């Protein structure tokens, strides 16, 4: 029997079409009052959404444990429907506050909504084999920028994600990343609507 050990199996990632909206249930942002870490979550007492897309229409509350700031958000009413938030970019989709989890990476800005989002990105970036099992139309991983998918940038991006993971555990205004400043680069609204009959996104 050979004493040689077999090479480790390549890290495989299976993309089942995860949408970015899935990670909007909890978003870490820069507090509008003190500049520390605040969190945006659905307002207390709401029932769990049946579809992930409904997260974009749920009333939200921003709270800061550091200074006590509180703010509420509700979707805009337009006729018989609600105009939903649009995820993406370095601002949260509800209050348009800069994301707390931002860092400079490969000459760009690497961002995430919370720790779960960071872990999902790290699992994808770190994989040597990537398999897609769903349409890429709305899938988060298929829509990532090329520099994040490049094998030549893998170590750099993983290091950036490690920085975001560390930032998630910090909360003081002085802990804020120099990348988390006002830029107004929130994506333009693309017409997401929610009607009584169901979600459309």
The predicted-structure confidence for 106-136, as pLDDT tens digits, reads as follows 999 999 999 999 999 999 899 877 666 555 5
The predicted-structure confidence for 91-109, as pLDDT tens digits, reads as follows 999 999 999 999 999 999 9
pLDDT at 195 over 60: no
Average pLDDT on 170-194 reads 70
Lowest-confidence pick of 94-103, 156-165, 189-198: 189-198
Average pLDDT, the chain: 83
Q: What is the pLDDT of residue 127?
A: 84
Rounded Cα distance, 88 and 25, in Å = 14
Q: Is residue 162 situated within a structural domain?
A: yes
Q: Is residue 195 situated within a structural domain?
A: no
Q: What is the pLDDT of residue 130?
A: 66
CB hemisphere CA count around 47 (13 angstroms): 3
The predicted-structure confidence for 50-74, as pLDDT tens digits, reads as follows 777 788 899 999 999 999 999 999 9
Q: What is the pLDDT of residue 132?
A: 67
Q: What is the pLDDT of residue 118?
A: 97
Domain that holds residue 143: 14-179
Q: Is residue 191 situated within a structural domain?
A: no
- The band of 192, judged by pLDDT with boundaries at 50, 70 and 90, is very low
Q: Is residue 71 situated within a structural domain?
A: yes
pLDDT at 18 over 60: yes
User: Is residue 118 a contact partner of residue 163, using CB atoms and an 8 Å limit?
Assistant: no
Rounded Cα distance, 92 and 64, in Å = 15
| Domains identified in the chain, total number | 1
Q: Is residue 94 situated within a structural domain?
A: yes
Q: Is residue 7 situated within a structural domain?
A: no
Rounded Cα distance, 22 and 153, in Å = 26
Q: Is residue 111 situated within a structural domain?
A: yes
Q: Is residue 174 situated within a structural domain?
A: yes
């Amino acid at each position: 029997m050979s004493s040689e050990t077999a090479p480790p199996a390549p890290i495989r990632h299976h993309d089942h079409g995860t949408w970015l909206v899935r990670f909007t249930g909890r978003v870490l942002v820069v507090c509008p009052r003190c500049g520390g870490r605040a969190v945006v979550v659905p307002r207390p007492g709401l029932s769990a959404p049946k579809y992930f897309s409904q997260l974009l229409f749920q009333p939200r509350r921003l709270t800061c444990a550091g200074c006590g700031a509180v703010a509420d958000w509700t979707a805009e009413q337009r006729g018989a429907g609600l105009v939903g938030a649009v995820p993406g970019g370095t601002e949260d989709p509800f209050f348009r506050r800069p994301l707390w989890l931002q860092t400079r990476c490969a000459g760009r800005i690497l961002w995430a909504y919370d720790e779960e989002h960071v872990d999902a990105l790290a699992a994808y970036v770190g994989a040597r084999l990537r398999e897609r099992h769903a349409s890429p139309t709305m899938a988060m991983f298929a829509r990532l920028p090329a520099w994040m998918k490049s094998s030549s940038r893998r170590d750099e991006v993983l290091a950036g994600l490690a920085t975001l993971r560390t930032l998630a555990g910090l909360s003081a205004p002085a802990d804020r990343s120099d990348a988390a400043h006002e830029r107004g680069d929130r994506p333009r609204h693309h017409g997401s609507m929610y009607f009584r009959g169901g979600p459309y996104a």
